[in-house]
Structure 1
Amino acid sequence: MFNRRFFSLCMGLQCALMATQASAGISLSATRLVFDGEHREVSIKVRNNGDDLLIQSWIDGDGSTAGSAPFAVTPPLARILAKQQQLLRVIYEGTGMPTDKESVVWLNVQEIPQASKEKNTLQLAVRQRIKVFFRPPGLATKAYLAPKQLLWQIGEQEGHALLKITNPGLYHVSMSDITLQFGAKTEHPVDSMMIAPGETKSFTLKGTKNANYSTLTFSSINDYGAQDRYKATLNGNSAVSATAVQKNAD
């Protein structure tokens, strides 16, 4: 009896997963949006890879409530036929965002599948969420220089070594694969992160006292979603910046 119940439970979970996968039918044409403040709007394409469905789209600022940022998405509700696509326009109201630095809001696109004709089928409304980087006009520097402006430093707190990162620039920097190499040891203080303009973040290292003489490497995600590699040599407690690692020619 127990084996039968366990088998039924597994089959039910498998069906639920299949229904979930079937409902995840949309894909976005970009992994991030860059909103140039000199223009009133930016657009993105939503492709429906599955059956006919509805999509609902909105912008939020903090990830908790819709309508908390001065942006609108049109159309907010759209029906997309199978294998077709829909253009979404993100429109700025014109006021309400900082004018002296880059800001981030979030575009949410949630698919609403048609009711299933099968009985006892679990359907989920899958939501995709990407960053929208709003850049007011007239900023003094360019976004591609932001990773080089980061300041990296080894500090100490309560007997533990810390990797300290400061962003003195005007743009957000999204990073992954942050690695410290000191001697024969390698450490990954954090898998991925984003640091905002004017922000400082610290990450605890594994107690080594040799980390302040190490080689730092990381990847920065650019406006197109590609990764650029950077490298810095940490020397004592001095704050240093990184330089771009040249890619090998084919």
Structure 2
Amino acid sequence: MLRRTLYPVLGLLGLFVAAQANASISLSATRVVFDGAHKEANVTVRNGNQEVLVQSWVDAGDSGLAQVPFAITPPLARVLPKQEQLLRILYEGQGLPSDRESVVWLNVQEIPQASSQANTLQLAVRQRIKIFFRPANLPGNALLAPEQLVWRLTQQAGKAQLTVNNPSLYHVSMADIEVKYGKQSVLSADSTMIAPGAQKTFTGPGALANSPMTLTFKSINDYGAQHQYSAQLNSAQPASAKSAEPAIAF
């Protein structure tokens, strides 16, 4: 009886072991900056060692857009091994604000060919990157937006609370946000992005000290590079961060 019970279990284990989910394709960029002065932007899909179908589309993410005013061509393409496929991202010319930057998402899904092996589970692997739509003649500079962020450190119910406002017209992507008092970490947060005119709040377990504390974070620019910033924070006093080192590859 035990042997009969084990056979189906071992069969299921073999099925999952045989699952194939390795991505064959890669993209030429980690983000797309769409210049509103142009009619389109491009990204290249590079294929690996097996023939695949590539399906591409744009979604609104959490932007609140009812419709996404972008089209991808080709939306479906067969890409041979060691070959590339250029994806053209086309904007309809209206549907997004002209006074600030907007963000939507590019999805590129790899659909592998049917396997010749029995009992093989194949998965369609999807890659998703941001499209930053930047209207033509938008005032300011995206590279300077991280220095325009306004940070404020307060204490709520015995816990440190860090609030950041973005008065710029550009999105700011950040990673490794941390507030320290000396070598002691008071608050930390993972990767996040703050939209133009938006505010975000982070809460940490540590209490605030009476002396100034150090804020550090990394901002990710248009080219996918990280740039380190730091600021000295006093409780309840707003402050802006300054660049701490040259950009490094991300």
TM-score normalised to structure 2 length: 0.90
Pair 1:20 & 2:26 matched: no
* Structure 1 residues 182 and 128: alpha-carbon distance in aligned structure 2, compared to 1, 3 A threshold: same
Q: Report how many aligned residue pairs link the two structures.
A: 244
Structure 1 residue 4: deviation in Å? 5.1
Structure 1 residues 122-146: Cα deviation after superposition (integer angstroms, max 9, x where no partner): 0111111000000001211010010
Name stretches of at least 5 consecutive residues in structure 2 with no aligned partner: none
Name stretches of at least 5 consecutive residues in structure 1 with no aligned partner: none
Pair 1:222 & 2:221 matched: yes
Structure 1 residues 39-80: Cα deviation after superposition (integer angstroms, max 9, x where no partner): 010001001113111111111112699993100000111110
Give matches, 1:154-173, under 5 Å: 154-173=153-172
CA RMSD in angstroms, aligned pairs only? 2.3
Give distance in 1, aligned partners of 2:84 and 2:197. Answer: 39
> Secondary structure, in 3 states, of the residue corresponding to 1:148?
helix
* Structure 1 residues 39 and 60: alpha-carbon distance in aligned structure 2, compared to 1, 3 A threshold: same
One-letter amino acid of the counterpart of residue 20, structure 1? A
> Secondary structure, in 3 states, of the residue corresponding to 2:188?
coil
Give matches, 1:55-204, under 5 Å: 55-62=54-61, 68-204=67-203
* Structure 1 residues 147 and 70: alpha-carbon distance in aligned structure 2, compared to 1, 3 A threshold: same
Deviates more, 1:114-123 or 1:211-220: 211-220
Give distance in 1, aligned partners of 2:85 and 2:197. Answer: 37
CA contact (8 A) 2:175 2:192 kept: yes
Pair 1:43 & 2:42 matched: yes
TM-score normalised to structure 1 length: 0.90
CA contact (8 A) 2:165 2:199 kept: yes
Structure 1 residue 107: deviation in Å? 0.5
Structure 1 residues 191-249: Cα deviation after superposition (integer angstroms, max 9, x where no partner): 1100001111111111412187210111000101010111101022111000001349x
Give distance in 2, aligned partners of 1:78 and 1:64. Answer: 28
Give distance in 2, aligned partners of 1:211 and 1:116. Answer: 64
One-letter amino acid of the counterpart of residue 46, structure 1? V
One-letter amino acid of the counterpart of residue 84, structure 2? Q
